Amino acid sequence: MSQNNFILSLLEIKGPNIRIIDVIDLPASSPADQEHTKLIKAQLSYPIKQCRHCGFAAVVKNGFRKAYVRLPSLNGIHYELELWKQRYYCRQCQTTFGATTNLTANNQTLSGQLKNQIMEFAKEGLNGKLIARVCHCSPSSVRRTIKERVKPHYRMAKLPHNLCFDEFRSVKSTMSFICCDSENHQLVATLHDQLSPSIIDYFENRYSKKERAQVKTVVIDLNAQYQSFIYRLFPNARIIIDRFHIVQLVGRALNNCR
Ligand SMILES: [Zn+2]
């Protein structure tokens, strides 16, 4: 195995057309910063016979263009790849195009491996800022990666026959809506707000009238707002006032009186 392949193997880079040119130690950005960065300079080039646009065999190499790829850190050291990508020029249709690699998606700097690492930390429940610090990227990159990789469930496959409605305090102290199956406590939906139009829209857009008609009971607190639209959404449902909320209300009233 050549030295080039050793480095690629160590960094888990699977690109047969990538050639390592140099590895440079970059100084820390501030004296307080303990971690240092290793910059790996590499070239991406391969022979091309036909033009990508017109198909004619009139392609010549036409210099390089620099791109950055962020790699996952290894033993606490931050690695960054300065990849010089080959450009090609077609003499037939006079267009230019570049060499491609599956290391990153188009116009992105985060490598697939780094995204895997971000997802691993996210699954462990680490917060975005901490993941960003460990993975040497911005919190917005972490947010984008999670959004890209996790596809939200459009709807629950089958609407349960017995539902529970409630609200909870979520981010920035706003009240959010939650709905779950009252038998097995499986989550059906969480919504950003607890406003009637949002809840009505959610159920009407995801479940047919026939599906909604099969709901038998809806357990709610003493929120009158819910009662106003439950019969519209679930025509055959009975409303049950939750025992817990009644006890809570009585307890609060008693405390106020005292
Ligand atoms: Zn061409």
pLDDT single digits (tens) 168-187: 888 777 889 999 999 998 98
**What's the gap in Å between 246 CA and the centre of ligand 1?**
75
**What's the gap in Å between 68 CA and the centre of ligand 1?**
27
**What's the gap in Å between 69 CA and the centre of ligand 1?**
28
In degrees, to the nearest 5, what angle opens at C-alpha 118 toward C-alphas 106 and 83?
Answer: 40
**What's the gap in Å between 105 CA and the centre of ligand 1?**
24
For residue 215, name the pLDDT band (cuts at 50, 70, 90).
very high
In this prediction, residue 44 carries a pLDDT of: 93
Mention every residue, 6+ apart, whose C-beta is less than 8 A from residue 103.
13, 15, 18, 69, 81, 83, 111, 112
**What's the gap in Å between 96 CA and the centre of ligand 1?**
8
In this prediction, residue 32 carries a pLDDT of: 61
In this prediction, residue 158 carries a pLDDT of: 87
Closest Cα partner for 239 from 163, 186, 180, 181?
163
Computed over every residue of the chain, the mean pLDDT equals 87
In this predicted model, what pLDDT tens digit does every residue of 226-251 receive, in sequence order?
888 899 899 999 999 888 888 988 99
In this predicted model, what pLDDT tens digit does every residue of 184-205 receive, in sequence order?
989 898 888 888 888 998 898 8
In this predicted model, what pLDDT tens digit does every residue of 5-57 receive, in sequence order?
888 888 888 878 899 999 888 877 666 666 678 899 999 999 998 998 998 99
Element (H, E) at 249: helix 243-257
**What's the gap in Å between 58 CA and the centre of ligand 1?**
7
Is the pLDDT higher at 157 or at 145? 145
Q: How is the chain split into domains, by residue range?
A: 3-109, 111-151, 162-257
Q: How far is CA 55 from CA 48, 51, 114, 206, in A?
A: 11, 5, 35, 47
